[in-house]
Structure 1
């Protein structure tokens, strides 16, 4: 299809590359954050502020990703992102003071924006329009296991090699992910649609609803992900069971793949808002019941996994298909910028209000997200492109 490898092997390679790049970037603080803080004598706020820097860079470069794909080609952009991820991990492994630490995270931010789902899905949407949705789901089935693989892997590497050498292994894995993409063709301007936007073509309510919903999901995910292992430990649950988060993500995406397109994205958006609210209610009640904590982490992983799919699939129901790449890049940028403060903010809340404070904060965000999703569905009812 227009030169894009969408065979089973191609989907497998893309899925494994996503699993690796999510694991060595977004889930890195959950694996090595405490070890870095203990070794360098830093506070949790400072350590998790690194991910904030990365999210800030993601927001700043987001509007330019579509242009970069058109100029360099899809494969080249994805491989450049993997290379930046490797360089960022090496930078973290060698840092001794805050400035090099945050510079390394800035490099990781650029790599994350170029290597993770959003850049890849923009290419698939430009190629196949709505037909890309099943491929997106298949790719995320592997990518959703990143936390289940890399949190235990990171803890094991830290125990055996120390966090600096462990990050060196992460860098090597990032380079390997780039090699997985080497057989995929580059896709340039003739495939990724150009769109000239004029205000009013896409109702501002749809743009605002999509941007707000994705911003809330991203803020909560960026802020909470690094603290989940310690939260579970506080519930008396073995750290290894944090893998339920990744298993929940993949299970939910597999169910979505089996349902195909029988569940509209707008309806699924409402379900995710309600599901997240229920998950954090369970978490607040789970201090005395470890099984309820396990159900929470599985359910939260499932809802987070569906949230990632919504970021890719909602635009097909909200915007004209030839405007997907342009609008998604613009509308996700504010969410990345706001999410930049999430790791630092969540670390501050945890130090002042403990794990319960984090869960209450997340419950509040979930309620707002649920309201935004219902409002967006009400606005779009009876209208379509």
Structure 2
């Protein structure tokens, strides 16, 4: 629930609040929606520092403070009357995202529970899959009843009041100093560079595809000839399929996460290819893509934990996430360029090619694993 609150007040906020802000302020839409790209870039720059702090001190207090930082950013958004201050608010929100979203939480769980963190990570990604289902209707209702500024202030107050006490209650007190020092020593040991770059590339490609689909799917489907209503209806298939795949992952039990990664990448590649080359099978393609993308968040948390010592996992989560966050920040711009110059076909062809590349990269990881693991 805490992750739903923080995701809803940061990454997913402008999807609902963007139009009311544009309507009142008259600011350029590129700058308003580009504020999220700015926040993602700030989060990318701060992510390695966030992981190092978790490795050294444990992430309990950092996660607790993340709600207050995002809440402060939202208070600035609610009270701003210039575009410059609005963008400054999203710099603050970006800092809160680095402190409190998946990478920081996964690193904290890895520091606390080492290999046993996997079950908690799987459960959290399952519940967090309902972030938009919960926060978008609530935000929309609050905006309709109170206006976007008051709704933003109310959400900020919820974050400030609720997040810190609940994190401090749920997470045990930080790791002993001796354990933190030993983790730091292990984290300073050299990591297998080939494995590190393969995992980083896999996660970055997955994040880019997810962002492009989230931002452009409705427009791309319309570009293929679907009506607006049909495009929205088809897009609605993603949420249930993502959650269903995470439930199936829990039921499947203990298997090496590399196989989850392979299944995820294949489903995404097959799903996007179907959408690209067989418009009549768009529904099936989106269901397959949704299932694969639903597993992606689990893979991002579990696969590095299975392939490297927990201390390195904790220290490197932020560093590994930096290319993903930068890619997410740039994706709307690049995707918009592709759509403008090459249409829906160009966007889908690019995404399909990226998805197929991800399959190849996962197979390279499988090939490099010890035989007893693979």
Instruction: Report the TM-score range of the alignment, normalised by the length of the smaller protein.
Output: 0.7 to 0.9
Query: Distance between the aligned counterparts of 1:238 and 1:232, measured in 2?
Result: 6
How far residue 286 of structure 1 moved from its aligned partner, in angstroms, is: 7.5
Aligned pairs for 1:159-238 (under 5 A) are: 159-175=144-160, 176-184=162-170, 185-188=172-175, 190=177, 191-192=179-180, 193-197=183-187, 201-228=190-217, 234-237=227-230
Query: Distance between the aligned counterparts of 1:153 and 1:286, measured in 2?
Result: 36
Which sections of structure 2, spanning at least 5 residues, go unmatched? none
2:174 is paired with a residue of what secondary structure? Answer: coil
Query: Distance between the aligned counterparts of 2:201 and 2:59, measured in 1?
Result: 28
Confirm or deny that 1:315 pairs with 2:308: no
8 A contact 2:60–2:108 mirrored in 1:
no
8 A contact 2:48–2:316 mirrored in 1:
no
8 A contact 2:258–2:303 mirrored in 1:
yes
Query: Distance between the aligned counterparts of 1:38 and 1:355, measured in 2?
Result: 28
Query: Distance between the aligned counterparts of 1:307 and 1:148, measured in 2?
Result: 19
Q: Which has the higher helix share?
A: 2
Provide the residue aligned with 2:317 in structure 1.
328
> Cα RMSD (Å) of the superposition?
3.0
How high is the TM-score relative to the length of structure 2? Answer: 0.85
Number of corresponding residues: 365
Q: 1:342 aligns with which of 323, 327, 331?
A: 331
Query: Distance between the aligned counterparts of 1:246 and 1:69, measured in 2?
Result: 31
Aligned pairs for 1:15-30 (under 5 A) are: 16-30=1-15
Provide the residue aligned with 1:6 in structure 2.
none
How far residue 357 of structure 1 moved from its aligned partner, in angstroms, is: 4.5
8 A contact 2:4–2:130 mirrored in 1:
yes
Which sections of structure 1, spanning at least 5 residues, go unmatched? 1-15
Confirm or deny that 1:117 pairs with 2:102: yes
Query: Distance between the aligned counterparts of 1:154 and 1:239, measured in 2?
Result: 19
Query: Distance between the aligned counterparts of 1:228 and 1:346, measured in 2?
Result: 11
8 A contact 2:4–2:131 mirrored in 1:
yes
How far residue 350 of structure 1 moved from its aligned partner, in angstroms, is: 4.2
Provide the residue aligned with 2:268 in structure 1.
276
Q: Decide which moves more: 186-195 or 333-342.
A: 186-195
1:261 is paired with a residue of what secondary structure? Answer: coil
Distance 1:65 1:372, change over 3 A: same
8 A contact 2:55–2:311 mirrored in 1:
no
How far residue 149 of structure 1 moved from its aligned partner, in angstroms, is: 2.0
8 A contact 1:235–1:286 mirrored in 2:
no
Query: Distance between the aligned counterparts of 1:177 and 1:241, measured in 2?
Result: 34
How high is the TM-score relative to the length of structure 1? Answer: 0.83
Query: Distance between the aligned counterparts of 1:48 and 1:321, measured in 2?
Result: 37
